[in-house]
Chain A
Amino acid sequence: MSASSPWHALVVERIVHYTPRVASLFLGNALGSFEAGQHVDIRLVAEDGYEARRSYSIASAPGGATIELMVERLDDGEVSPFLHDVVRVGDTLDVRGPIGGHFVWTAALGGPLLLVAGGSGIAPLMSMLRHRARTALAVDALVIYGARTWDDLVFRDELVAMAEADARLTVVFGTSREAARRDGDFAGRIDHGEVARSLARWDRAAKHAYVCGSTGFVETATSALVAEGVAAFVIRAERYGGIG
């Protein structure tokens, strides 16, 4: 690798399996500083030079010694099953980044902050929440996070603990295939009605809103936010294609 290459060989220091479908790789951070919400590209290289690349959002807060990349396993994918099944602690992966200057939140932007995630869309929002927890606890924040079941909610225990310790943070879980567990949670997919109910309970005017998930999820959630009076220009969206 030449000195001018944008690719950095990062060492896998830890692997955590959160759910059967979701694991995080913790890589030694040689990328330098990044902003919450940014992503990196990973490049896998076969012996004959064949390459595959994918983008993964950083889930950890800026400033740590490692970066956490959350990977959802797509069974027919080329890259995510490799990252889940083959990669071991001590391996190196070629990583480029950080990338992206739009879907980012910094403490300086302030709040109130509204975060809406569907499934693996929680990853960049988790970076924002962890960043907030370290630097901007005075910022009011609402998280609406939907998954299929209670056990599919990645970072669930950390989110619950964060919210219990922090009166300015509200976390609402939506579970599409299970009953609601906590006060304020709901059963079913995130739709206009649930977004409206959660916003009404929160009773703040979002200054910055971030929505991340599959295309259909983002269309539904952003439409609901606009219909509930959140200005379109404060809503930033990231749509996951669900490939790879």
Chain B
Amino acid sequence: MATRGFTGRRPGDEVARRLPPGQHLATDFPVLAIGPTPPVDLATWRFTIRHGPRPLASFSWADLETMPQTVWQGDIHCVTTWSKFDTQWQGVGVDDLLAAAGIAAPTPWLLAHSYDDYSTNVPVADLVGGKAMIATRFGGLPLAPEHGGPARLLVPHLYFWKSAKWVNQLQFTERDEPGFWELRGYHLYGDPWREQRYTDDP
């Protein structure tokens, strides 16, 4: 039923076409995180790939910086209803990261973990095939700490809580295990085009 008196401010057709349902266009870059921005020192930065508790590979910042660089430009969508268009990211594609580790995904699921003890689950199929990266630059500049720097996961086709800030671990799991927000009312998968915001969304 319509809300009495509400006419709204419609975006133009081109913007509307790029906005998933229930989203609106933001021109700034709002910040969401669960606690303080953690201090992360590049000299001691470590990125680990695990299968369950078992480490499979581990990289320093210098290791990461020597891997092939991927650039992605496009639109990102936050579950809090803002979308931002034409963002530019650079980093190491998950395909290249796994290649550098010399491993194939041992299970179809994983949890990304972060320096602030945040975690989020993403199916491996949504990370490989050029779909995701460990991003270290935004708009050509080193990624700012409040936006997840020095490195965050970037999975732009899912709601942005999946793009874990301050990421330091990919942990393959035997089943699709919910992460931080997924345990606290948010959708297990999070496709913005199907508007999978909360647990009870189909």
Q: Do A and B come from one complex?
A: yes
Residues of A within 8 A of B (CB): 1, 6, 9, 41, 43-47, 50-55, 78, 82, 86-87, 91-94, 96, 99-102, 215, 219, 222-223, 225-226, 232-233, 235-237, 239, 241-244
Q: Which residues of A contact B10 (CB under 8 A)?
A: 50
**Cβ-closest chain A residue relative to B32:** A239
- Interface code B1-26, partner A: CB below 8 Å = 1, 0 otherwise? 11111111110000000000110101
- Show 14 A/B contacts (Cβ-Cβ < 8 Å), sorted by A: A1-B1, A43-B3, A51-B22, A52-B8, A52-B9, A78-B9, A92-B1, A92-B3, A94-B1, A100-B184, A225-B36, A226-B36, A239-B33, A243-B30
Complex Cα gap A224–B30 (Å) = 21
Q: Is residue B62 contacting chain A, with contact meaning CB distance below 8 A?
A: no
With A47-B2, A50-B8, A50-B10 as given contacts, are A241 and B146 in contact (CB-CB < 8 Å)? no
Taken together as a complex, chains A and B put the C-alpha atoms of A46 and B198 apart, in Å, by: 24
Which positions in B face A, CB cutoff 8 Å?
1-10, 21-22, 24, 26, 28, 30-38, 80-82, 116-117, 146, 180-181, 183-185, 198, 200-201
Which residues in A have their C-beta under 8 angstroms from that of B28?
241-243
Interface of B is mostly: loop
CB distance from B46 to the nearest CB of A (A): 19
Q: Which residue of A lies closest to B6 (CB)?
A: A44
Contact B33 A237 (CB under 8 A): yes
> CA–CA, A54 to B31, complex, Å?
16
Chain A contacts for B33, CB-based, 8 A: 237, 239
Contact of A9 among B1, B8, B82 (CB under 8 A): B1
- Main SS at interface, chain A: mixed
Measured CB to CB, the closest approach of chain A to B123, in angstroms, equals 23
Q: Which of B4, B6, B36, B184 contacts A232 (CB 8 A)?
A: B36
Contacts of A99 in B (CB 8 A): 185, 198
B1, B146, B184, B185: the one within 8 Å of A219 (CB): B146
Judge whether A82 and B6 touch: CB under 8 Å.
yes
Measured CB to CB, the closest approach of chain A to B91, in angstroms, equals 23
Task: Give CA–CA (A101, B161) in the complex, Å.
Answer: 14
B70 smallest CB distance to A (angstroms) = 28
